[in-house]
Structure 1
Amino acid sequence: MGRLFAGLCALLLAVPLLAGAAAAGILGGGSGGGTSQPPPSPAAEQQIPADYQRLYAAAAATCPGLSWSVLAAVGKVETDHGQNPDWTSDAGGPMQFEPATFAAYGVDGDADGTADINNPADAIYSAAHYLCASGARDGANIPAALYTYNKDNSYVARVLTQADVYTSADISVTTGPSEAALTAVDYATAQLGLPYLWGGDGPQLTELPDGRVKVTGGFDCSGLTRAAYAAAGVNLPRTAQQQYEAGPLVPASSVLQPGDLLFFGTGPGDVTHVGIAISSTQMINAPHRGAVVRIDSIWRNLVGVTRPADRG
């Protein structure tokens, strides 16, 4: 597939801060805690306001092993870098801290004598502090740190995907994964651990007499991808072969993106399996009887790739 999209880490399931001195910006690459930092992609330069770029770089430098791109991805997913806060949430500020969490981990990022949840410098430095304390130091366990930040598998996948968008030179605002593709990835990630079921279209919930809820059912490979894209408002046929033929096909020279569907078999007329890409090397899929929905390395017998999010 040529130069493919930079990889996500496999999901798991389951400090004195000097704001001014370190804020050299992220353009051209820098270092965080003595660790080489990746340069920004065109998408990062276009999406992230200049003052936020500097803050992400400076705050990341306080935690060895934490990339500015992860902090920036949290900022993007939470409030679009302070441009779209969720006023209905109990959390506050550009990094959407719960008040109790900010009370425990909040820091004075701009050295004005006050740690303010709504101040971008304070919020971003505090996010770096919290992630570092939660497993990000020395890059030990970024997914686990993000899961501590927001206990949602799909959130972790969304942030790691966005972080890759911000460091891939081949990804721009116009060519990066669409909202529909990311929604499909979010949905598929949320199904991790559900059992494989031939012909399965998803879990079935039944309320028992004692008030408990019994979960039955599951997915087969194409049932999972069909449901993932249905969540994004894109209708797909039922079988892997039909989904492959529905396209649109991605040229072999194109960059693989999260949300792309990966088809396997002996050839275009014999497609027997489908998964949904989350990176250049990994996919979420329902592989076979006796297994569960899980993250696998992309199989060798790849027949082709489609991008349903581009369907009209």
Structure 2
Amino acid sequence: MVTSAALVGVAVVTLSVGLADLDQPPIEVPAGIPPGLGAPVPVIDINAPGRTASLLRDWAGPLATPIGVSVTALEAYGYAARVMEQTRPECGIGWTTLAGIASVESKHGTHGGARVGDSGQVDPPIRGIPLDGSPGVAEIPDTDDGTSDGDATHDRAMGPLQFIPETWKRWGVDANGDGVADPDNIDDAALTAARYLCARGGDLTTADGWQKALMAYNLSGEYLMEVRDRAAAYSVGIRR
């Protein structure tokens, strides 16, 4: 379990720089929880038709390469944060938190050679290991007859944000306007994750709320800190 001292620490981690950058001051990544919110997401019509996340292209484009995230994935995280800001302003979730989780879970939808298409669809679909109770693995018998995760014996985590079928059934939402809540679509997955985290953590602008949300997503202090580190790096415009 992460100690409270670690959660509110004010130390900073300085990333190493290449020889070409020796004449530039290093970028400092703030420590502590919650991680920074990063570049503000522009106001958009969250109810516009079609893949509304694409309205953030001008915002996501300049940010994507420095932090090592595809434009489409970054649009999805920004859109999810913008939706929550307008529908649950008390939550305060940042796109950086969603990006940190997606980085750890699936390398932003690219795990195992997968790619994120222009529509947000991840192909081939990403599936976790069978949750069969083997050492270090939870045991979750099949809950969906294998219709969602392709495994009729045990459940598997699905998609770029790695939802198990039962959780997706309860929380899954359509975010790209195609009428289907699909765990393999990064728009749908990012907004679903944001809704889940806000429900579990409440106010994610506080250390306590952010920690509650992340521990609900994955009950691991090590996982929490890895997400925090990546989100904090994204918040100052660098990759982790």
| Structure 1 and Structure 2 fold alike (TM over 0.5) | yes
> Helix, strand or coil for the counterpart of 1:108?
coil
Once the two structures are TM-superposed, the CA of residue 124 in structure 1 deviates from its matched residue by 1.2
Unpaired segments of 5 or more residues in structure 1?
12-16, 30-38, 177-312
Matched, 1:63 2:84: yes
More helix by share: 2
Q: Measure the CA separation in 1 of the matches of 2:30 and 2:65.
A: 15
Q: Measure the CA separation in 2 of the matches of 1:42 and 1:109.
A: 24
Q: Which amino acid aligns with 1:7?
A: A
Once the two structures are TM-superposed, the CA of residue 139 in structure 1 deviates from its matched residue by 2.4
Over 3 Å counting, the alpha-carbon distance change for 1:28 and 1:92 in structure 2 is: closer
Q: For 1:63-114, what per-residue CA distance to the aligned partner results, in whole angstroms no more than 9, with x for missing partners? A: 2311111101111100001110454251111100011111111111112221
Q: Measure the CA separation in 1 of the matches of 2:95 and 2:63.
A: 9
Over 3 Å counting, the alpha-carbon distance change for 1:27 and 1:137 in structure 2 is: farther
Kindly report which structure 2 residues correspond to 1:1-312, keeping only aligned pairs within 5 A, or say none: 4-9=28-33, 18=47, 20-21=51-52, 23-25=54-56, 40=63, 43-44=66-67, 47-64=68-85, 65-84=92-111, 85-89=126-130, 90-137=156-203, 139-140=205-206, 141-169=209-237, 171=238, 173=239, 176=240
Query: Relative CO higher for 1 or 2, CA cutoff 8 Å, sep ≥ 6?
Result: 2
4+ residue runs over 6 A deviation: none
**TM-score, normalised via structure 2 length:** 0.56
Q: Which amino acid aligns with 2:157?
A: A
Q: Measure the CA separation in 2 of the matches of 1:28 and 1:113.
A: 26
> Could you tell me whether the CA contact under 8 Å between 2:52 and 2:176 is conserved in 1?
no
Over 3 Å counting, the alpha-carbon distance change for 1:82 and 1:106 in structure 2 is: same
Over 3 Å counting, the alpha-carbon distance change for 1:103 and 1:74 in structure 2 is: same
In the alignment of these two chains, the number of paired residues is 156
Unpaired segments of 5 or more residues in structure 2?
1-13, 15-24, 36-45, 86-91, 112-125, 131-155
> Could you tell me whether the CA contact under 8 Å between 2:64 and 2:70 is conserved in 1?
no
**TM-score, normalised via structure 1 length:** 0.44
Q: Which amino acid aligns with 1:158?
A: E
Q: Measure the CA separation in 2 of the matches of 1:94 and 1:166.
A: 18
Once the two structures are TM-superposed, the CA of residue 7 in structure 1 deviates from its matched residue by 1.9
Which shows bigger deviation, 48-57 or 111-120?
Answer: 111-120
Q: Which residue is 2:134 aligned to?
A: none
Q: Measure the CA separation in 1 of the matches of 2:66 and 2:216.
A: 27
> Could you tell me whether the CA contact under 8 Å between 1:41 and 1:166 is conserved in 2?
no
> Could you tell me whether the CA contact under 8 Å between 1:23 and 1:57 is conserved in 2?
no
Over 3 Å counting, the alpha-carbon distance change for 1:123 and 1:153 in structure 2 is: same
Structure with higher Rg: it is 1
More strand by share: 1
Q: Which residue is 1:267 aligned to?
A: none
Q: For 1:202-259, what per-residue CA distance to the aligned partner results, in whole angstroms no more than 9, with x for missing partners? A: xxxxxxxxxxxxxxxxxxxxxxxxxxxxxxxxxxxxxxxxxxxxxxxxxxxxxxxxxx
> Helix, strand or coil for the counterpart of 1:61?
helix
